[in-house]
Structure 1
Amino acid sequence: MPEHPAVVRVEAALAEAGVVTQVVWLDGAAKTAAEAASALGIDVGAIANSLVFLLDGEPVLVMTSGAHRVDTAWLGERVGGTFSRADATTVKDATGQVIGGIAPLGHPVPLRTFVDEALADYPEVWAAAGHAHTVFPLTYDQLVRVTYGTVTPVAPPVAG
């Protein structure tokens, strides 16, 4: 397997957290949840997207199901702050990783993290491992534990 510094950091963080898993190198880049799900042959909802936002100016991580979009205004009201988009430089500085390959851990310093409760619907979720060609499986409970995440919906319930 190829080596990449960000992936090595993610693997070390997983080992330190006691998560036994295997990073998978995909043939092509999986910069979106749909691409990752297609490459893995799984439901897009089982992809744990790592999205970096600014919450009142501070970088935070939102782990959301690939089947959802984060409603930043709604989530901001829920957690008592204002979410805004983080630019690519801010994302790289906060995570040590580039957009499209952001892992839930392995960052220079831990980020405050919010975890989409919808990911709990899947016995196994897949997250990026620090590079756009890498993913790894873990359970929802492991994801919450390794990120020290706050479990929350990321958008209001759909009326129906």
Structure 2
Amino acid sequence: MSSRKPAAPGGTPATSVLEEAGVAHTRHSYAHDPRAVADGGSYGMEAAHALGLDPATVFKTLLVVLDGAPRPGLGVAVLPVTHQLDLKAAAQALGVKRASMADPRTAERSTGYVVGGISPVGQRTPLPTVVDVSATRHATVFVSGGRRGLDLGLAPADLVRVTGAVVAPVTRR
């Protein structure tokens, strides 16, 4: 699993973890516009549009509260920005009875990243993670790089490996 590393100049903990693990990745920067998300927009769709990417390849990172044995606490779900998280499926994939969305402040404290920039890689504390199975249909997926305005492109298998994730269907439209 990835754990938080000091960021190299110009990088983030996510890029540091990928570099240390020898994971090939690309960095894609754009100017984040707060107005793009002010009226119900999403950070992930903003990234897809700003970078000219197919939204099906851009994945968001959501934190969930896990309820029940064997792992109560927080978990991570990584899924396309075009879909919503199926909490029941996420709970099942992460081996608990129930899951609910984590409060944004809790997500920020746990990961060390700000909402809209939460990366599944390089979080303060490694958490149980599930990557939606749809990621395996793409040669490259894009995830937040650890700050608003930065996405990282990498192979889905590398994302799974570096986060210690399980792969399962966890979306609904």
* TM-score, scaled relative to structure 1: 0.86
Aligned to 2:13: 9
Task: Please point out which of 38, 41, 45 is paired with 2:49.
Answer: 38
Of residues 129-138 and 75-84 in structure 1, the stretch that sits farther from structure 2 once superposed is: 75-84
Post-superposition shift, 1:4?
9.3
Give the count of matched residue pairs: 155
**Unmatched tracts of structure 1, length 5 or more:** none
Instruction: Out of 99-108 and 30-39, give the one that drifted further.
Output: 30-39
Q: Which moved more, 1:73-82 or 1:38-47?
A: 73-82
Aligned to 2:139, what secondary structure does the other structure show?
coil
The alpha-carbon deviation at position 48 of structure 1 amounts to 1.6
Structure 2 counterpart of 1:139, which letter?
Answer: A
- Counterpart check, 1:113 vs 2:133: no
Is 2:18–2:24's contact at 8 Å kept on the other side of the alignment? yes
> Residue 7 of structure 1 contacts residue 131 of structure 1 at CA under 8 Å; is this kept in 2?
no
Q: CA deviation at 1:80?
A: 3.4
* Residues 89 and 169, structure 2, Cα contact 8 Å, conserved in 1: no
Moved over 3 A (4+): 3-7, 77-80
The CA distance in 1 between the partners of 2:152 and 2:171, in whole Å, is 25
Contact 2:77 2:90 in 1 (8 A): no
Instruction: State the match for 1:95 in structure 2.
Output: 111
Q: What residue number does 1:53 align with?
A: 64
**Residues in 2 aligned to 1:58 and 1:6: alpha-carbon distance in whole angstroms:** 32
Deviations 1:18-49 (A, max 9, x none): 11323222122485221111112121110121
What value does the CA root-mean-square deviation take over the aligned residues?
2.4
State the secondary structure of the residue aligned to 1:137: strand
Decide whether aligned partners of structure 1 residues 93 and 5 sit closer, same or farther in structure 2, where only a CA change above 3 A counts: farther
Alignment partner, residue 158 of structure 2: 142
Give TM-score scaled by structure 2 length: 0.80
Percent sequence identity over aligned pairs: 30
Structure 1 counterpart of 2:88, from 73, 87, 91:
73
C-alpha displacement of 1:75:
3.1
